[in-house]
Amino acid sequence: MILETRGIGKTFGSVLALRDVSMGVTAGQVTCVLGDNGAGKSTLIKILSGVHRHDAGMLLVDGAEVGFASPREALDRGIATVYQDLAMIPLMSVWRNFFLGSEPRRGLAFDVAKARRVAREELRAMGIDIRDVDQPVGTLSGGERQSVAIARAVYFGARVLILDEPTSALGVKQAGVVLRYIARARDRGLGVVFITHNPHHAYPVGDRFLLLNRGTSLGEYAKGEITTQELTALMSGGAELEELAHELERE
Amino acid sequence: MTGAQVRTDDRTADVGAVRRLLIRPELGAVVGMVAVFAFFASQSPVFRSPAGIANWLDPAATLGIMAVAVALLMIGGEFDLSAGVLTGTSGLILVTLATRFGFNVWAAMLAGLVVALAVGFANGMVVTRTRLPSFIVTLGTFLMLQGINLGVTKAITGTVQVGGLRRADGFEGAAAVFAGTIEIGGTSFRVAILWWVVVTAVATWVLMRSRVGNWIFAVGGNEQAARNVGVPAARTKIALFMTTAFAAWLVGSIMALRYTSVQANIGIGQEFIYIIAAVIGGCLLTGGYGSAVGAAIGAVIFGMADKGIVFLGWDADWFKFFLGAMLLLATLANRLVRRYAEEVRH
């Protein structure tokens, strides 16, 4: 287990954002975190990525307890987060974005030839078909941008990749593209945390499923233990859905 | 990439090479320069003679040094309205120290450089610390410097200019380096042209081939995203303000050594000309995009129009009209190019 939480919790003032959540991330596996809006998904990933500090329970990396003071510390331990809004500069080329902040140097200069070559190679190794690494990131589709961000995290030595709703703003086809890169990152031996509110995206790629509702865990399931239907029912609270169906029925 | 690696996508087929050429920020400026040159050269034989070229390259050079520095700053997402007046401040310090306080010209120039860099540093610090728009911050600096230039000059000389630099120690050497001329094929070119070429070359290298260049594009494109991946955004911006200040010192010194006297109100109004040249050169007002070569070409267009109108015997007032028309055209062209470059392809 690379990254693990045991009974972790977080309060903001009097608000219990997260309570007693346990989960684990293993190398070469995808752990999906599912939950409706306000379930505590983003609080959980912010703890995992070092943005917030937990105030109950334990956070463990490689079996040893840690407390991250900043995202930089998490990154240094190999925990990379790709946020929904991506942190990419639309007007800059793919290769400039790929190495932004960690430019390879050659003497005093930015080794542009190396940056271009490595960006192209890394994207191809992930199976990402970018027409031209010189094109501005702004010209890429949403799925391609997510993919470039994933490839960048992989290249810079991530062991755990946390993906914050990477498919939520995408169409069906684009979401499929991103799911394929998630699988690719998994196959390269990374532990992946995939946050989503769509069980249909989570089920095909996930190995374990953590369900959150109103800041608490509804349990962590292995793939064999649960079906898509059960996931959906648990997530939205099956009773609530039935109630809704009943309410919407014609008199 | 070679053709074999490009995905055969019917919607994007064959536009790659053309698109890459079209999204070069300086494209519009190059087209403009060719058109303006063709127009004046066809109307005036003097304009296209070596002496004529030397004549219009001179204003292009002093404007160009500033435009290139301002372009870097604009790509970094900021403005500097105090840049024009700072050329005056630097020149005034040089002449005043050398003629009234017995400084050697070189020492006086060094003092001017220190003050200019300090002003640039202050601009950068205030902008990055307070996150106020640089337009407002440097407008404040602009007005303060304008006041200081006039107030101090009047207090020391009793008039609104200082002169007599020719008699100061070290004038000959400094004048040769910054305000001399070079003979090429029987025509004498101002040495400022050489400085302009050097400044443009260095700026282009920094922008395209250094890590700092990557950071400049990034802080102008999306400062928060840049900071998230570890770009020292504040330091980059402060360095850009200091670069503009350095350019202002260079131009101020060149002018002071050339004319040996400085008017206290010099440089006022020039700050917009620098920005216009940078915009004609392809810089976006919103930052994150542009080129140093483009700004240099923007300055050439200015130089040609400035002198060309005189060569044709037109009223010099028409220059202002030309300026406005060029700015409008360039901004429209840049917007089209940017839309084309940013167009999302699924």
Domain annotation for chain B: domains and CATH numbers: 28-338 (1.10.3470)
Say yes or no: B210 contacts chain A, CB-CB below 8 A.
yes
CB atoms within 10 A of CB A207: 17
Residues in chain B within 8 Å Cβ distance of A110: 209-211, 213-214
- Taking the CA of residue B23 and the nearest CA in chain A, the distance in Å comes to 10
- C-alpha span between A206 and A182 (Å, rounded): 10
Say yes or no: A76 contacts chain B, CB-CB below 8 A.
no
**Chain B residue with minimal CA distance to A96?**
B214
- C-alpha span between B241 and B248 (Å, rounded): 11
Residue B85: left if φ>0, alpha if ψ -120 to 50, beta else—which one?
alpha
- Taking the CA of residue B312 and the nearest CA in chain A, the distance in Å comes to 42
Contact A102 B23 (CB under 8 A): no
Radius of gyration of chain A (CA): 19
Q: Are strands B161-162 and B181-184 parallel, antiparallel or unpaired?
A: unpaired
B4-25 pLDDT, tens digit per residue, is 444 444 444 445 566 666 667 8
Report the pLDDT averaged over residues A71-88: 80
Q: Give the lowest-confidence range in A115-119, A130-134, B17-21, B218-222.
A: B17-21
**Which among A86, A89, A102 has CB closest to B288?**
A89
* 154-183 in chain A: CB under 8 A from chain B: 174
Q: Are strands A191-196 and A160-164 parallel, antiparallel or unpaired?
A: parallel
Say yes or no: A87 contacts chain B, CB-CB below 8 A.
yes
Give the rounded percent of residues in chain A with a pLDDT score beyond 90.
24
With contact defined as beta carbons under 8 Å apart, do A134 and B339 qualify? no
B66-106 pLDDT, tens digit per residue, is 999 999 999 999 999 999 999 999 999 999 999 999 999 99
CB-based burial, B163-192: b 16+ in 10 Å, e otherwise: bebeebeebeebbeebbbeeeeeeeebbbb
- Taking the CA of residue A69 and the nearest CA in chain B, the distance in Å comes to 15
* Residue A134: DSSP 8-state: T
The CATH homologous superfamily for domain A3-88+158-248 is: P-loop containing nucleotide triphosphate hydrolases (3.40.50.300)
Say yes or no: B130 contacts chain A, CB-CB below 8 A.
no
A232-242 pLDDT, tens digit per residue, is 877 766 666 67
**Which among B1, B210, B288 has CB closest to A109?**
B210
- C-alpha span between A89 and B214 (Å, rounded): 11
CB-based burial, B312-326: b 16+ in 10 Å, e otherwise: eeeeeeebeebbeeb
With contact defined as beta carbons under 8 Å apart, do B78 and B214 qualify? no
CB-based burial, A117-127: b 16+ in 10 Å, e otherwise: ebbbebbeebe
Report the pLDDT averaged over residues B131-158: 95
Could you tell me how many CB contacts below 8 A there are between chain A and chain B?
92
**Which among A88, A90, A110 has CB closest to B209?**
A110
* Average pLDDT for chain B: 89
Say yes or no: B13 contacts chain A, CB-CB below 8 A.
no
**Which among B16, B211, B342 has CB closest to A105?**
B211
What is the 3-state secondary structure of chain B?
A: CCHHHCCCCCCCCCHHHHHHHHCCCCHHHHHHHHHHHHHHHHHCHHHHCHHHHHHHHHHHHHHHHHHHHHHHHHHCCCCCCCHHHHHHHHHHHHHHHHHHCCCCHHHHHHHHHHHHHHHHHHHHHHHHHHCCCHHHHHHHHHHHHHHHHHHHHHHHHCCCEECCHHHCCCHHHHHHHHHCEEEECCEEEECHHHHHHHHHHHHHHHHHHCHHHHHHHHHHHCHHHHHHCCCCHHHHHHHHHHHHHHHHHHHHHHHHHHHCCEECCCCCCHHHHHHHHHHHCCCCCCCCCCCHHHHHHHHHHHHHHHHHHHHCCCCCCHHHHHHHHHHHHHHHHHHHHHHHHHCCCC
- Taking the CA of residue B298 and the nearest CA in chain A, the distance in Å comes to 22
Query: What does the block give as tokens for A146?
Result: 């997510």
- Taking the CA of residue A245 and the nearest CA in chain B, the distance in Å comes to 37
With contact defined as beta carbons under 8 Å apart, do B103 and B94 qualify? no
Residue B234 binned pLDDT confidence (cut-offs 50, 70, 90): very high
Hey, of A70, A72, A92, which one would you mutate to test binding to chain B, going by the most B CBs within 10 A of its CB? A92
Q: Is residue B31 predicted with pLDDT exceeding 60?
A: yes
Helix H or strand E encompassing A216: strand A216-222
Residues in chain A within 8 Å Cβ distance of B1: 120, 131-133
CA distances from A117 to A114, A124, B17 (A): 5, 11, 19
Radius of gyration of chain B (CA): 21
- C-alpha span between A212 and A235 (Å, rounded): 7
A13-57 pLDDT, tens digit per residue, is 888 889 899 999 999 999 999 888 878 888 898 899 888 899 899
CB-based burial, A32-43: b 16+ in 10 Å, e otherwise: bbbbeeebbbbb
- Taking the CA of residue A242 and the nearest CA in chain B, the distance in Å comes to 38
Residues in chain B within 8 Å Cβ distance of A139: 341-345
Q: Which residue has the higher pLDDT, A48 or A128?
A: A48
**Which among B19, B211, B341 has CB closest to A110?**
B211
Q: Are strands A191-196 and A30-35 parallel, antiparallel or unpaired?
A: parallel
Report the pLDDT averaged over residues B265-289: 92
- Taking the CA of residue A85 and the nearest CA in chain B, the distance in Å comes to 9
What pLDDT, on a 0 to 100 scale, did the predictor assign at position B19? 64
Residues in chain A within 8 Å Cβ distance of B214: 92, 96, 99-100, 103, 110
Report the pLDDT averaged over residues B132-145: 96
What pLDDT, on a 0 to 100 scale, did the predictor assign at position B221? 92
In chain A, what are the domain boundaries?
3-88+158-248
- C-alpha span between A137 and A142 (Å, rounded): 10
Report the pLDDT averaged over residues B35-44: 91
Q: Which residue has the higher pLDDT, A30 or A83?
A: A30
- Of B279, B268, B302, nearest to B62 (Cα)? B302
Find residue A11's DSSP bridge partners: A16
Residues in chain B within 8 Å Cβ distance of A86: 225
**Chain B residue with minimal CA distance to A117?**
B1
Reduced to 3 states (helix: H, G, I; strand: E, B; else coil), residue A59 is strand
Out of A1-15, A167-181, B88-102, give the one with best mean pLDDT.
B88-102
CB atoms within 10 A of CB A19: 17
Contact B7 A140 (CB under 8 A): no
Q: Is residue B277 predicted with pLDDT exceeding 50?
A: yes
- C-alpha span between A201 and B86 (Å, rounded): 59
Is the ipTM higher than 0.85? The answer is: no
- C-alpha span between A42 and A207 (Å, rounded): 20
Contact B218 A102 (CB under 8 A): no
Report the pLDDT averaged over residues B40-69: 94
With contact defined as beta carbons under 8 Å apart, do B159 and B95 qualify? no
Say yes or no: B225 contacts chain A, CB-CB below 8 A.
yes
Residues in chain A within 8 Å Cβ distance of B229: 87, 100-102
Q: Give the lowest-confidence range in A34-43, B182-191, B273-282.
A: A34-43
Contact B344 A136 (CB under 8 A): no
B156-181 pLDDT, tens digit per residue, is 999 999 999 999 999 999 999 999 99
Say yes or no: B346 contacts chain A, CB-CB below 8 A.
yes
- C-alpha span between A20 and B216 (Å, rounded): 45
What pLDDT, on a 0 to 100 scale, did the predictor assign at position B22? 65
